[in-house]
Amino acid sequence: MPRCMIMLKKFLAVLPLLLLAGCATTFTRLTPLEQPRNPNNLYPVEVVFNSSQQSLRWESIKPYVLANGVLYPMRQVPMMQNRWDGYVTVPPGTNSVSYRFKFDYLCNAFGTPPEPNSSFSPVYTLTVIDQ
């Protein structure tokens, strides 16, 4: 079998992996796992969002933190790239909350207007410690 055919077969075998890797999105949670209880019942959460998806329109990002079925808007941390913060509510008498990050954004498409898309982080748990 000619050498170029062998190389083509190897390339075609790896091509799906390359295509999947091209759209990799990562979330890096910067929030501690535990926080002391505070009187206003609001607890800060922070995340770094990265994507290698070339069609993503970064200026269109709308980040949220989803906790107890409620979407709380987040804001971009000043002077930091790809970093957002927000707050989740943990009512008195409750010692933990599960939450995840949701990022809505637009993606460029060929021959059509940008299309909406979303990415979700894994679920995290914040534990509130009574002092």
Residue with tokens 């599960």, as numbered in its chain? 98
Residues 78/62, Cβ–Cβ less than 8 Å: no
Q: How far apart are CA 51 and CA 82, in angstroms?
A: 9
| DSSP character string of 53-77 | -TTEEEEEEEEEEEETTEEEE-EEP
pLDDT of residue 10: 52
79-131 pLDDT tens trace: 998 999 999 999 999 999 999 999 999 999 889 999 999 999 999 999 999 87
Residue 51 lies in a domain: yes
Residue 32 lies in a domain: yes
Q: Determine the structural domain holding residue 113 and report its residue range.
A: 24-129
Residue 6 lies in a domain: no
pLDDT of residue 83: 97
Angle at alpha carbon of residue 35, lines to 31 and 39, rounded to 5°? 125
Residue 122 lies in a domain: yes
49-71 pLDDT tens trace: 999 999 999 999 999 999 999 99
Q: What's the pTM value of the predicted model, to 2 decimals?
A: 0.79
Residue 17 lies in a domain: no
Residue 43 lies in a domain: yes
Residue 57 lies in a domain: yes
CATH of the domain at 80: 2.60.40.10
Residue 61 lies in a domain: yes
Query: For the chain, what is the domain count?
Result: 1
